[in-house]
């Protein structure tokens, strides 16, 4: 599993933020992002943004994000993303945080995410 373009939105300590990245499955078998943690947050959840029949936008947790073999899946604003909750410190523009991603087949992958505005 190859991870690229990891970034997170700036936020104050104790609040929440979102992180985004692109996952490319370089293997020949289906894989899935199952969970994530970060020393920068008390809790990290996989979320998806959706729009209901009345046009209302909301987010909800998902159990996994599938990454088909040989394909890329982007976690981006308005789609899948990582919710960082209970931030342990300020996420200041220009700094980085660690994201520990857990995949069904690839196992744990550690990446650095840059803090930046969208």
CATH number of the domain within which 100 lies:
2.60.40.1890
* pLDDT at res. 38: 98
For residue 19, what pLDDT band results from cuts at 50, 70 and 90?
A: very high
For residue 28, what pLDDT band results from cuts at 50, 70 and 90?
A: very high
For residue 33, the enclosing domain spans 2-115
CA proximity to 38, closest of 78, 70, 11: 11
- Whether residue 20 is predicted with pLDDT greater than 90 in this model: the reply is yes
Average pLDDT over residues 31-40: 98
* pLDDT at res. 52: 84
The total domain count for the chain is 1
* pLDDT at res. 14: 97
Average pLDDT over residues 81-99: 98
Q: What residues contact residue 28 under an 8 Å CB cut-off, 6+ apart?
A: 69, 70
CA separation for the pair 110, 101 (Å, rounded): 6
* pLDDT at res. 11: 98
CA proximity to 50, closest of 76, 21, 79, 16: 79
* pLDDT at res. 100: 98
pTM: 0.94
């Amino acid at each position: 599993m190859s991870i690229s373009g990891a970034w997170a939105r700036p936020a104050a300590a104790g609040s929440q933020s979102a992180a985004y990245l692109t996952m490319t499955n370089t293997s020949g078998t289906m894989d899935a992002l199952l969970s994530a943690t970060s020393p920068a947050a008390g809790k990290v959840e996989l979320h998806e943004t959706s729009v209901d029949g009345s046009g209302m936008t909301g987010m909800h947790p998902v159990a996994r994000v599938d990454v088909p073999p040989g394909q890329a899946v982007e976690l981006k604003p308005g789609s899948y993303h990582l919710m960082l909750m209970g931030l342990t410190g300020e996420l200041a523009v220009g700094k980085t945080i660690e994201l520990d991603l857990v995949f069904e087949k690839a196992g744990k992958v550690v990446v650095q995410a840059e803090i930046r505005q969208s």
